[in-house]
Structure 1
C-alpha cells in the first residue's frame, strides 16, 4: 500500500473516531457547561466520582482546552481545592497538554480548511495577520502568558503554521504553567482557609487580566506590522 493510501485511511479513521467522540459530546454539552459554571458544583461532582475522579477531572480539562466556552478557571480552582497544589497542577497540566495536542494535530492533519474559514471572519481576522509573521513564536508566548487574551483559538491557529510541535508545546507549557499554578493555588488556599494568599494571588491575576484586555489591540497591531 502506497503512502498516499495509508494517509487517506489514517484520515478516514481519525474522522470516524472524531465523530464517535463529538456526537455524544454535543448531546451532553449543556450538562457539561452547567457543571462548569460553578466551582462548588464542579467540585462536588468530581468528588462524587470517587477513585476515578482524577481521570474525570483531566477529561474536563481536555474538553476545556478543546472547547473554548468551558471556563478553565472553574476547573483549575476546583483542582487546587480537591487535590492540593502538586496534584492539582499536575492533573491540570496533563489535561491542558492532551487537549492542546488534540486541537493542534486535528488542525494540522484534518481540519485546516475548517479553521482557515473560521478565522477569516472579521472577529478573528487579526489571527490571520500574525500567522506568517517572523515573530509568531514570540506572539504565541505573550498571548499564552497574559491573562485575558484569547488562548484556546490560537492553538488551532498554530496548527495551520509551520511551527514545529516540540517548539509549540514548549512555548505552551512555559507560558501557561505560572497561571495554571496560580489558579490551582487559589483553590488550595480556599480549602486551607488561607484567605490572605487567595486575595494576593487573585488581585495580581485580576490586574494582569485587566492589563491584557487593555493592551490586547496594541499587541496585535505591534506583531501584525
Structure 2
C-alpha cells in the first residue's frame, strides 16, 4: 500500500472519529459536566463502571484534550483521587497523548483551513507569532510547562507547523508530566485525608501558577525572533479576560 492510500485512510478515519466525537459531545456534554463537578461524584461514577472505569476515565481525558469542555486539572486531580498517584498519572498521560494525537493529526491532515480561520481573529495573533518564531519548540515547551496558560489549542496550532510529530509529542509529555504528577498527588492526598500534604502541594502549585503569569511574557519574548510577540500575547490575555 502506497503512502497516498495510507494518508487517505488516515484522513477518513480521523474525519469519522471527529464526527463521532461531535455527536457524542452534543448528546452527553451536560451529563459529563454534571458528573465532573464533584470528585466524589466522579469517583463513584467511574467505579460503578467496573472494569470499564479506567477506559471511561481515559476517555474523559481524551475529550478534555480535544474539546476542553472542562478544565484539565479537574480530570487529572480526579485521576489521583480515584486511582492513586501512579495509576492516575498513567491513565491521564494515556488520555492526554491519545487526545493530542487526534488533535495534531486532525489539523495536519484535514483541519488546517479550519484552524487557520480561527487564527485570523485578533486575539489569536500571538499564536501566529509563535508559529513564525525560529524557537517555536522552546516556546511551546514553556507554554505547556507553565500552569494556567492556554495549552490545548496549541496542539492544533502545532499541526500547522513543520515540526516533526515525534518531537512534538516528546515536548508535550516532558512538559506536562510533572504537573500531571502534581495534580494526581493532590487528588490522592485528598482521598486519603492527608490534608497537610495537599495544602503544601497546592501552595507550591499556586506559587508556580502566579510566577508563570508574571514572567510568561518575558520568557516567551526572549525566545522569540518576533519583536511583536510579547505585545500580541498580552493583548490576547487581556481579551480572554474581558
TM-score (norm 2): 0.86
Scaled by the length of structure 1, the TM-score of the pair is 0.92
Do the aligned partners of 2:80 and 2:185 also contact (CA within 8 Å) in 1? Answer: yes
User: Which residue matches 1:150?
Assistant: 150
Tell me if 1:178 matches 2:146: no
Distance in 2 between residues matched to 1:61 and 1:3, nearest whole Å: 31
Q: Distance in 2 between matches of 1:186 and 1:13?
A: 37
Please state whether the residue corresponding to 1:138 is helix, strand or coil. helix
Q: 2:39 matched to 1:39?
A: yes
| Matches of 1:47 and 1:13, distance apart in 2 | 31
Query: Residues 118, 78 of structure 1: CA spacing in aligned structure 2 closer, same or farther, 3 A cutoff?
Result: same
Task: Return 170-179 or 69-78, whichever deviates more.
Answer: 69-78
**Preserved contact between residue 14 and residue 102 of structure 2 (Cα < 8 Å):** no
The Cα shift of 1:194 comes to: 1.5
Gaps of 5+ in 2: 228-242
CA distance in 1, matches of 2:81, 2:24: 29
Judged with a 3 Å threshold, the aligned counterparts in structure 2 of structure 1 residues 99 and 14 are, in CA distance, closer, same or farther, namely closer
In structure 2, relative to structure 1, the CA distance for the partners of 1:188 and 1:86 (3 Å cut) is same
Retained in 2: the 8 A contact 1:130–1:136? Answer: yes
Give 1:170-209 correspondences, 5 Å limit. 170-209=170-209
Measured in 2, the distance between the counterparts of 1:69 and 1:24 equals 13
Q: Which residue of 2 aligns with 1:66?
A: 66
Q: In structure 2, do the counterparts of structure 1 residues 116 and 188 end up closer, same or farther at CA, with 3 Å as the change threshold?
A: same
| CA spacing shift, 1:70–1:215, aligned 2, 3 Å | same
Q: Which runs of 5+ in 1 are unaligned?
A: none
Q: State the partner residue of 2:102.
A: 102
Q: Aligned to 2:69, what secondary structure does the other structure show?
A: coil
* More moved, 50-59 vs 35-44: 35-44
